[in-house]
Amino acid sequence: MNSNLLINAARSVAKQWMLPAAARREQKDDRAGLRRADPGPRLVIRSCLDWLRRAQDFSPSKDGGVSRDFSLLSGWATSYPETTGYIVPTMLECARRFHDDDLRLRARRMLDWFVSIQYPEGGFQGGKIDSQPRVPVTFNTGQILLGLAAGTSEFGDVYRGPMNKAAVWLRDTLDPDGCWRNFPTPFAASGEKAYETHVSWGLFEAARMQPGRGYAEAGLRQVDWALTKQHANGWFEDCCLTDRDKPLTHTIGYVLRGVIEAYRFSQRADLLERAESTARGVLTAQRADGALPGMLDSDWKPAATWACLTGIVQIASCWLLLHAITRNREYRRAALAANAFVRRTVAVDGPADVRGGVKGSFPVDGEYGSFQYLNWATKFCIDANIHELDCDGVRE
């Protein structure tokens, strides 16, 4: 072995032993492969909900928002407005299903926080609450709009004004061709983003609460623009936080869900065809154990050796929504395998800070959310397992 290889090997060992003990243990366990039995959807849903409660309670900013993540390296992060936005609908849905008023009260605390941090023109900041620079961002506003629309449906007019302010801002900042370009996040690579169909979903939900204001029309215009980025095989370019040629399954999940929601709102047959094109493409990348690679190239080939757990459960939800529409059992089979894989990565016992949390990557040291348990991964895991129960005709 030459001297450079020896130096690199020594650095790798030193870096690993600098990790906290809990991080080393999780890394070792994950690299050994899936070892947990599948705890099933009901237990995972309840464990994930308990983790989200803890993430709200233990956010260092103590503002009613949900901590972005629990890191095995640095502990709890401050609250994250963007993902707290779409955690609200999940909390409210579970409050109804499980007759859990605590979840309803927690959602209201999140909503009140949004009202307190909304910019006068209607937008919301990117990043964590203490991130710099603090500027209004299209994507983050769209995710919080999902929460405000759900809050308006649940609690009435107290959140209608903030919902309309956010929806009007998004409607009026859309470029004539259907792309949002003027308020990008400073925390991702620059450029156009096809996955902002997930912002359009927020406009569809606002339109359900407040029709006749052009919200849905703006959302459909954006989805039509995003579809200009779709290849014949269903893959989208300009659909990643950092790499336009190798999008994360997470951002593929975003763009696919947005197109599905555009179909559900409009019932346009062409949108269902486009959504199925992407859904079928992702199917070709699924591994025998139910997982998906963390990134996929334009031929739907793996571009990462690790799995992005967030993306897997997002896409599982999309497959189950498409199964409900088309009755294509291949979507159901793939979704159940995907959900089972992610459930086997979730601890339902052990230390409270990780019990019920969903990691960014598997193994835990993968490139997405490395050594972190993410609030949005946990939220999407709940959603996917609820879709699974509904697919099987099971109601709590």
pLDDT band per the 50, 70, 90 thresholds, residue 6:
very low
- The dihedral over CA atoms of 261, 264, 268, 271, expressed in degrees to the nearest 10, equals 30
Q: Give CATH for domain 40-391.
A: 1.50.10.10
pLDDT band per the 50, 70, 90 thresholds, residue 18:
confident
As a whole-number percent, the residues of the chain with pLDDT over 70 amount to 94
The continuous run of DSSP H or E covering 169 comes out as helix 160-173
The DSSP code for 135 is -
Write the pLDDT tens digit of every residue in 334-363.
999 999 999 999 999 999 999 999 999 999
pLDDT band per the 50, 70, 90 thresholds, residue 36:
confident
Closest of 233, 227, 148, 166 to residue 195, by C-alpha? 227
* pLDDT above 90 for 48: yes
Place of tokens 């972190």: 372
Let me know: does 23 contact 364? Beta carbons within 8 Å.
Answer: yes
Closest of 81, 114, 93 to residue 45, by C-alpha? 93
Write the pLDDT tens digit of every residue in 306-336.
999 999 999 999 999 999 999 999 999 999 9
**Considering the chain, what is the average pLDDT of its residues?**
95
pTM over 0.85: yes
Let me know: does 356 contact 292? Beta carbons within 8 Å.
Answer: no
- Phi, psi (deg, nearest 5) at residue 374: -100, 140
* pLDDT above 90 for 10: no
Instruction: Please state, in angstroms and rounded to a whole number, the distance separating the CA atoms of residues 337 and 291.
Output: 8
From the CB of residue 394, how many other CB atoms can be counted at a distance below 10 Å?
A: 11
Token duo for residue 256: 């696919």
DSSP letters for 1-17:
--HHHHHHHHHHHHHHH
Place of tokens 């927690």: 106
pLDDT at residue number 35? 83
Q: What is the CA radius of gyration of the chain?
A: 20
Q: Please list, residue by residue across 215-249, b when 16 or more beta carbons sit within 10 angstroms of its beta carbon and e when fewer do.
A: bbebbbbbbbbbbebbeeebbbebbbbeebebbbb
pLDDT band per the 50, 70, 90 thresholds, residue 7:
very low
pLDDT at residue number 17? 61
Write the pLDDT tens digit of every residue in 183-229.
999 999 899 999 999 999 999 999 999 999 999 999 999 999 999 99
- Phi, psi (deg, nearest 5) at residue 308: -95, 100
pLDDT band per the 50, 70, 90 thresholds, residue 9:
very low
Domain ranges of the chain: 40-391
* 264-269 mean pLDDT: 98
